[in-house]
Amino acid sequence: MDRAGRWPAKRLPTGSWSNVYDLLDPVCGFADRRIAGSFRAAGRLRVTDIEVTNEGRWRHAIGKYLGQELLRDRIRAVFA
Does 9 fall in a domain?
no
Does 46 fall in a domain?
yes
The 10s digit of each residue's pLDDT in 3-38 is 566 767 777 777 778 899 999 988 877 677 888 888
C-alpha distance from residue 5 to each of 19, 50, 70 (Å): 17, 21, 27
Does 45 fall in a domain?
yes
Please give the residue range of the domain that contains residue 34. 17-79
- Greatest mean pLDDT range, 12-21, 44-53, 60-69: 60-69
Q: Quote the pLDDT of residue 16.
A: 78
Q: Quote the pLDDT of residue 5.
A: 67
Q: Quote the pLDDT of residue 8.
A: 72
Does 74 fall in a domain?
yes
How many Cα atoms are found within 13 Å in the side-chain-facing hemisphere of 52? 26
